[in-house]
Amino acid sequence: MNRVTTAIEKMRKAIADQIASGQILQSKADSLHKTLDMEWDEYVKFQELKSAMMGTALTTEEAMTIYGYLGEGGPDKFNQAELAVKVVLTKMFEQLMRAQIGGRV
């Protein structure tokens, strides 16, 4: 089981359901998408944390999934990703940072 892909699928459905039901407006989702853009320093830190946590907090498959969404050479690929991917990976980035702060990395 890949927790990254599972979380992304759940988030896709949740976002679609909330837009369809009117709980959130498409314009708000679009605004959130832009807000979640990653800068170069965040991109580098996420790549470092992902690599450091591979084999412990992340399976190799999960780490490779994250790598696939982050891309190479900077944050452009991530910034173009769909909202569900950006939400899930941003949450994962936060969790990895908290683990590092807590001394688990």
What is the spatial distance between Cα 96 and Cα 28, in angstroms, rounded to a whole number?
A: 27
Measured CA to CA in angstroms, residue 22 lies from 28, 30, 40 at distances of 11, 14, 34
Instruction: List all residues 6 or more positions away from 105 whose beta carbon is below 8 Å from its beta carbon.
Output: 49, 52, 53, 96, 99
pLDDT tens track of the chain, all 105 residues?
A: 899 999 999 999 999 999 999 999 999 999 999 999 999 999 999 999 999 998 888 999 999 999 999 988 899 999 999 999 999 999 999 999 998 888 755
Residue pair 53/105 in contact (Cβ under 8 Å)? The answer is yes
pTM score: 0.91
Q: Where are the domains of the chain?
A: 3-101
pLDDT for 99: 87
Residue pair 96/105 in contact (Cβ under 8 Å)? The answer is yes
